[in-house]
Structure 1
Amino acid sequence: MISRRKSRILAFQTLYEWEITRTSLDELLKFSWIEQREKYSDSDLFFPRLLVQGVLENMNAIDALISGQLDNWPFSRVNKVDLSILRLGVYELTFNQETPVSVAIDEAVEIAREYGVEESYRFVNGVLDGIAKKKKL
């Protein structure tokens, strides 16, 4: 069984792939891009699939929440890596009731530290914290 962190990273990477390629949900959920895909069982990929599907099914609401936190910054200018991380974080904050707010934010910030640019983690933290406060989560 893979860790929740690894699951979130796989989900983030898949969401980034979707942002770049607009691959169909069915194709995305096969995770065929993963090296040595045969190492992962269906149960290993259950949580990343849940996250990816949840984000894509709720994309309009998620993007509206993100947009609402962008002062003087057009949504279209958000870095695609940061956007993929934010979408995942917002999904966990607002649609996945089993993830505590602090965990959703912390996990997104850590992924941003690892995969984003130098200031990504601060940006991700600010947007997600603003959403959590606005929604009183």
Structure 2
Amino acid sequence: MKRRAAREKAFQVLFQMDINDVDPKEALDHVLDEAKPDEFLTNIVFGVVEHKEEIDQKISDNLENWTIQRLASVERTLLRIATFELFHGEDETPQGVIINEAVEIANEYGDDKSGKFINGVLSKIIQ
């Protein structure tokens, strides 16, 4: 599985968990529909779950006039994935690539302002 596809699957899993409060393994099984998960995908999903409090704090510290609870699930989920990758992911992925992928997925799944919002928050996080 290519990394872009893995990020999209991770987004789907974590979005489902955010909306329905389901177990990560159950959400993975549902999204993958009997396909075998790859290591990059599982690292993102379980990494976000493991570091959720720290990730949410980093995001909250960089929001202006918003709380993390008020964010739409699309934006909240993508910010969690990208923040995890920026601080706990493999060192080989450049920050720009991580941010760009999050923006592109936001443009696909969110509204017309999601990508700009994601880009702005992540840019503040890495400063």
- TM-score normalised by the chain length of structure 2: 0.92
Identity of aligned residues (%): 40
State the Cα deviation string for residues 21-52 of structure 1 (Å, max 9, x = none): 111123233x2234xx34x334xx32111100
Aligned to 1:32: 30
Aligned to 1:81: 74
Instruction: State yes or no: 1:130 paired with 2:124.
Output: yes
Gaps of 5+ in 2: none
For residues 74 and 50 of structure 1, the distance between their equivalents in structure 2, rounded to whole angstroms, comes to 26
Map 1:99-110 onto structure 2 (within 5 A).
99-110=93-104
Partner amino acid, structure 2, of 1:32: H
Instruction: State yes or no: 1:41 paired with 2:39.
Output: no
Spell out structure 1 runs of 4+ moving beyond 3 A. none
Cα distance, 1:56 vs structure 2: 0.5
Aligned to 1:72: 65
Instruction: State yes or no: 1:6 paired with 2:18.
Output: no
Gaps of 5+ in 1: none
Answer with 1 or 2: which has the greater Rg. Answer: 1
Aligned to 1:111: 105
Aligned to 1:53: 46
Between Structure 1 and Structure 2, which shows a larger proportion of helix residues?
2
Counterpart of 1:92 (choices 56, 60, 85) is: 85
For residues 10 and 24 of structure 2, the distance between their equivalents in structure 1, rounded to whole angstroms, comes to 12
- TM-score normalised by the chain length of structure 1: 0.86
RMSD across aligned positions (CA)? 1.3
SS at match of 1:41: coil
